[in-house]
Structure 1
Amino acid sequence: MGEETKFELGGRPRSRRFWIILLSTIIGVPVFVILILLIVVLIQAAVITAPQGNIGILNDAKTEGITDDKLLERAERFAGALRIETVSYSANNQNLSEFPVFHQYLLDGFPNIHNRDFIERYVVNEYSLLYKVTGSTPGKLPYLLAAHMDVVPAPPANWKHPPFGGVIEDGEIWGRGAVDDKGGVMGIMEALEYWLSQGVQPKRTFFIAFGHDEEIGGNNGAHNIAIQLRELGVEKLDFVFDEGLISMTDNILPGVTKPAALIAVSEKGFLYLKLEVTGTLQHSSFPPAETPIGILGRAVGKLEEHQQPSVLGTGPESDAFHYVAPDTDYGTRILYANMWLFGPLMAAMMQNDRLLGPLMKTTTGLTIFNSGVKDNVIPDIATAVINHRVHPGQTSEQVIEHDRWAIGDNKVKITVTGQMDPHPVSPFGPDALAYQLISTSIYQTFDEVVVAPCIMIANTDTTHYLPFTEKVYRFIPTLVTPDDVSRYHGDNERVTIKDYERMVNFYFRFMQNADLVFDLAPDDTQPADEL
């Protein structure tokens, strides 16, 4: 091979081997250990594969999609749903009069669902809906499909079309709720309506829950739906499937060449903290050296400067990198396939990314700051509200401890005003039937995607269903671009007609697959007459 490459330092030649030996001496690691480590890293990147489902009947599933020619009719019906202003402004402020209008819209639009003797409809707490679809073969645990009818406010100033106009233009359906979450409501109903039109009664019993206040916590909707389920004799559910991340997105994970379909198998908790500094009411012409506003301003600034630490590797988001690694370029695959070594590097790379950062840490949102009574009066109190979304790898106590350290000032009083623990991590992987049921339905519906488990960075109302099952999955079956992410609770929310068609097809395949695996459903049963 010829002479070794030489490097000059201070006029004296040095070989590459010299520098390797010198580096290994400095860091205290023998050369052979470095070489073995390098070989392991490269081999791991070369051989890594995504976990495949071991449930044979799902691997062989050839479930057909919807084959009629009513695509535009469904799009128009969806647009009509977006015109109904079922807005949740706050816990005590909703357009409640609009929900009965929406209920009637569903009654009129889906006659098959509302005229089958094996389907029961319950209006829960006046404004939420629960459907019970009784299967032809009772005895197995039912599952629950969930979505919500309410939407967040939509100030029209920056919208191209009125947010409640339900406009269809250039193949797109515009309106508040197009993605979050009337698409889920209407997609589920369209899928079931079509299935029933084929003369089918599902084999397996399942429930459909449409809450009316998910955007403000579900305390009046999902909470009372859970009570209704118990009154119907339901003690356990096989699993719950609800909305999730806007996850069918190109380029959301670095180096991944396909859209990533991320199934959220856990959900962050939340922690609301009130920061308070008190002082003495004084005239502004002779101010004190420190004021409540100044002290509190420095405190919240320190919280932004010293974010919560990364806990990458403690939650299901780490598994996401394993699942997508085979669909990345080799350089990226080296990182994703060796999280045990490159986890800290990955955390540093993701730390400040708006979309990826929340996956690996507890987030800190400064949402409210209040102080002052008059422009020439030093106030005697200043308060701020901090909204933490707590990663499953941390406890609320650890989050508060970090905040106290970051603020470093005992004059700032910290009070917990609201709290919910992170959700348990639902089973996922090759042998997890419910997870594979969703994964298979995704692969059947969308071309060129990669499916992976992840964590839900926002909150849903599924917390009210946790007493029924340890298996809760969250996913929105629609393809969006990175530019669309800002439309989530933002301006110009919309979905393409093609994506809405795929959404309906996804739910249709999902229901058929649930029947296909009926005999593989858990052996835990409830009395047949209760299901």
Structure 2
Amino acid sequence: MKMKKILAALFILLLILILVLVVRTVTYKFGKVTRNVDDKELVNTAPSEQSVRRFVGGIRIPTISNEVYEETDFKPFDEFMKYLADSYPEVYRVMDADTINTYGLVFHWKGRNSDLKPILFLSHYDVVPVVGYDPSTATVADTVFRFHDKPLPPIGTYSEKWDYPPFSGAVAGGRIYGRGTLDMKCMLFSLMEGADNLIAEGFQPERDIWFAFGQDEEVSGRQGAFNIAGYFKQKGLRFSAVYDEGGIIAAPGSAIESIQEPLALVGVGEKGFLTLRLTIKGMGGHSSMPPSKSSLVYAAEIIEKLNDNQFPAEIISPIAAFFDNVGGEMGFFSRMAIANQWLLEPLLLKTMEKSPASNALVRTTTAITMAKGSDAANVLASEAEVTVNFRILPGESVAGVIEHVKKLCEGYDVAIHVVSEREPSSISPENVRGFGIIKEEMAKIYPAAIVTSYITIGGTDSYKYQTVSDDIYRFLPICLNQYEQRTIHNENEYISLENFGKMQWYFKELMKNY
């Protein structure tokens, strides 16, 4: 009888718990998505042929950055700088143009009211190399612009996975092909087109507008963005908002399968990084007389420890806001987990951990990228090396990650060398003009999109500008499906004419209406 009463009481408590979960789910205030009735863009954003031609000319110049800055081939960078000046004479006439550290480009458009804080737009014009491509083998036909109805024949030496030569700027099938079309000349040319069009309309901004274009973002930005940010700081400038690359519009289903609406992912912060080289000592010698454990075996054990002891998952503030914004479009059980994180947060985190992309949003990640032992098959190396890369979640630190590694390496003879490091960024606010105007302009060209805060997983130049602004937003208004997202730094990079046109319109309106 007593057991029945206990079971009955437990059943009642369970019902109450279920009722609480359901009520909280139904009444939870998820972000509201305001849309047009017909979900059609309100403006014409088709790019002009002139803007496409100017963009294509910039894609044709192979401004490839080099890890060793002094070994960079700077001839294309000189050519690119001249090309910009020749292509946008009115921008150079109206805006004050300057160079920082030879190749960093800075433009200043004076506004009517010097009391207002200025705004800053970033981009970079260096690009990553193309595997298998040798620019020196390209022929003149590579640099001839035309709207292609038929595929170009293979010209120059390049990977067969490219539909068109990677520095041809071929325009075909509603797309512009080439290295830098997505990362990152698209933003640079959109800004120049926007300014050029506004100048032609007789527009003068109310507040000062600045552009800053780096030459080495792909290899750390130490020579470009770092020096430009120092230049701004020396001038005593504080920006009302800074805009850079980072987030995109993820096509329906490409970010979260259950969400069949475009997700405009605005990076309000970015992860830091730390690369460590671990040198593990052991007994070396001839492979015919191996010890019970060699240095490489010790290295394998450390690799296993690093892989098995991942950093704990957690929901930081931008991801909590992300859930609040997108949750209303998700299924009932997902909404229940978001609305009842006091109880169901572990389940929510388990769901995020299932995908590499979403897992990276909720923890500092550990990636074993390189390992080295002996150079000969019959030699036991006295030292083995392991390289590990961490992407650090905001709120954690480089020092904390190093301490984590030291603890895992206790009991082994290990030397830890820091190859590269950068702390996570600060988090920019959402309740300010800098973020709000993104929503305003997006509603006109992507009325169905859900605009939400996000954490940028990769690094950008914007990190260097934290010294001159608290409000930094990483976002390109380009809608990409999963395949298109994978072409960044990869084969067959392209941007659709539709995306290029919308990007031009967006940045023009941002400058005009801020």
Whether TM exceeds 0.5 here: the answer is yes
Residue aligned with 1:477, SS: strand
* Residue 145 of structure 2: aligned partner: none
Shift of 1:246: 3.6
Q: TM-score, normalised by structure 2?
A: 0.86
Say whether residues 1:98 and 2:76 are aligned partners.
yes
Indicate if the aligned counterparts of 2:106 and 2:210 stay in contact, CA closer than 8 A.
Answer: yes
Indicate if the aligned counterparts of 1:134 and 1:204 stay in contact, CA closer than 8 A.
Answer: yes
Q: Could you say if the C-alpha distance between residues 159 and 89 of structure 1 is closer, same or farther in structure 2, counting changes exceeding 3 Å?
A: farther
Q: Could you say if the C-alpha distance between residues 256 and 128 of structure 1 is closer, same or farther in structure 2, counting changes exceeding 3 Å?
A: same
Indicate if the aligned counterparts of 2:117 and 2:239 stay in contact, CA closer than 8 A.
Answer: yes
* Residue 495 of structure 2: aligned partner: 495
* Residue 104 of structure 2: aligned partner: 128
Q: Which runs of 5+ in 1 are unaligned?
A: 1-17, 54-62, 515-531
* Residue 297 of structure 1: aligned partner: 300
Measured in 2, the distance between the counterparts of 1:440 and 1:248 equals 18
The total of aligned residue pairs comes to 476
Q: Could you say if the C-alpha distance between residues 52 and 436 of structure 1 is closer, same or farther in structure 2, counting changes exceeding 3 Å?
A: farther
Say whether residues 1:78 and 2:55 are aligned partners.
yes
Residue aligned with 1:173, SS: strand
Indicate if the aligned counterparts of 2:166 and 2:179 stay in contact, CA closer than 8 A.
Answer: yes
- List per-residue Cα deviations over 1:432-475 (Å, max 9, x = no partner): 22111122222222131001111111111222211112211111
* Residue 191 of structure 2: aligned partner: 188
Q: Could you say if the C-alpha distance between residues 348 and 278 of structure 1 is closer, same or farther in structure 2, counting changes exceeding 3 Å?
A: same
- List per-residue Cα deviations over 1:334-359 (Å, max 9, x = no partner): 23333333221121122141211111
Q: Could you say if the C-alpha distance between residues 140 and 161 of structure 1 is closer, same or farther in structure 2, counting changes exceeding 3 Å?
A: same
Name whichever of 70-79 and 419-428 sits farther off: 70-79
Measured in 1, the distance between the counterparts of 2:331 and 2:44 equals 36
* Residue 203 of structure 2: aligned partner: 200
Say whether residues 1:442 and 2:442 are aligned partners.
yes
Measured in 2, the distance between the counterparts of 1:87 and 1:250 equals 33
The counterpart of 1:382, out of the listed 372, 384, 387, is: 384
- List per-residue Cα deviations over 1:350-370 (Å, max 9, x = no partner): 214121111111111222323
Indicate if the aligned counterparts of 2:209 and 2:511 stay in contact, CA closer than 8 A.
Answer: no
Shift of 1:64: 7.8
The counterpart of 2:349, out of the listed 347, 350, 353, is: 347
Residue aligned with 1:90, SS: coil
RMSD of the alignment, in Å? 2.5
The counterpart of 2:271, out of the listed 248, 268, 272, is: 268
* Residue 113 of structure 2: aligned partner: 137
* Residue 433 of structure 1: aligned partner: 433
Measured in 2, the distance between the counterparts of 1:469 and 1:202 equals 20
Measured in 2, the distance between the counterparts of 1:339 and 1:513 equals 38
Q: Could you say if the C-alpha distance between residues 452 and 286 of structure 1 is closer, same or farther in structure 2, counting changes exceeding 3 Å?
A: same
* Residue 15 of structure 2: aligned partner: 35
Mapping 1:104-253, distance limit 5 Å = 104-116=82-94, 119-155=95-131, 156-157=158-159, 158-231=161-234, 233-251=235-253, 252-253=255-256
Residue aligned with 1:316, SS: helix
The counterpart of 1:325, out of the listed 303, 324, 327, is: 327
Indicate if the aligned counterparts of 2:280 and 2:298 stay in contact, CA closer than 8 A.
Answer: yes
1:75 alignment partner AA: V
Shift of 1:247: 4.0
Indicate if the aligned counterparts of 2:280 and 2:412 stay in contact, CA closer than 8 A.
Answer: no
Q: Could you say if the C-alpha distance between residues 240 and 19 of structure 1 is closer, same or farther in structure 2, counting changes exceeding 3 Å?
A: farther
Measured in 2, the distance between the counterparts of 1:40 and 1:403 equals 42
Indicate if the aligned counterparts of 1:296 and 1:412 stay in contact, CA closer than 8 A.
Answer: no
1:332 alignment partner AA: S
1:89 alignment partner AA: N
Indicate if the aligned counterparts of 1:246 and 1:485 stay in contact, CA closer than 8 A.
Answer: no
Q: Could you say if the C-alpha distance between residues 317 and 87 of structure 1 is closer, same or farther in structure 2, counting changes exceeding 3 Å?
A: same
- List per-residue Cα deviations over 1:276-312 (Å, max 9, x = no partner): 111343122212221111211232233234432212x
The counterpart of 1:334, out of the listed 323, 333, 336, is: 336
Residue aligned with 2:274, SS: strand
- List per-residue Cα deviations over 1:144-189 (Å, max 9, x = no partner): 1101111111113232222112111111111111111111111111
Residue aligned with 2:126, SS: coil
Q: Could you say if the C-alpha distance between residues 295 and 70 of structure 1 is closer, same or farther in structure 2, counting changes exceeding 3 Å?
A: closer
Q: Could you say if the C-alpha distance between residues 292 and 451 of structure 1 is closer, same or farther in structure 2, counting changes exceeding 3 Å?
A: same
Measured in 1, the distance between the counterparts of 2:384 and 2:198 equals 58
Residue aligned with 1:356, SS: helix
Name whichever of 40-49 and 321-330 sits farther off: 40-49
Measured in 1, the distance between the counterparts of 2:200 and 2:42 equals 15
Measured in 1, the distance between the counterparts of 2:6 and 2:48 equals 68
Q: Could you say if the C-alpha distance between residues 408 and 19 of structure 1 is closer, same or farther in structure 2, counting changes exceeding 3 Å?
A: farther
Name whichever of 247-256 and 200-209 sits farther off: 247-256
Indicate if the aligned counterparts of 1:300 and 1:407 stay in contact, CA closer than 8 A.
Answer: no
* Residue 370 of structure 2: aligned partner: 368
Shift of 1:74: 1.8
* Residue 473 of structure 1: aligned partner: 473
Indicate if the aligned counterparts of 1:250 and 1:482 stay in contact, CA closer than 8 A.
Answer: no
Q: TM-score, normalised by structure 1?
A: 0.84
Residue aligned with 1:122, SS: strand
Residue aligned with 1:112, SS: helix
Measured in 2, the distance between the counterparts of 1:202 and 1:65 equals 21
1:237 alignment partner AA: F
Measured in 1, the distance between the counterparts of 2:347 and 2:194 equals 44
Mapping 1:272-283, distance limit 5 Å = 272-283=275-286
Shift of 1:75: 2.1
1:276 alignment partner AA: T
Measured in 2, the distance between the counterparts of 1:333 and 1:318 equals 13
Indicate if the aligned counterparts of 2:249 and 2:476 stay in contact, CA closer than 8 A.
Answer: yes
Q: Could you say if the C-alpha distance between residues 200 and 371 of structure 1 is closer, same or farther in structure 2, counting changes exceeding 3 Å?
A: same
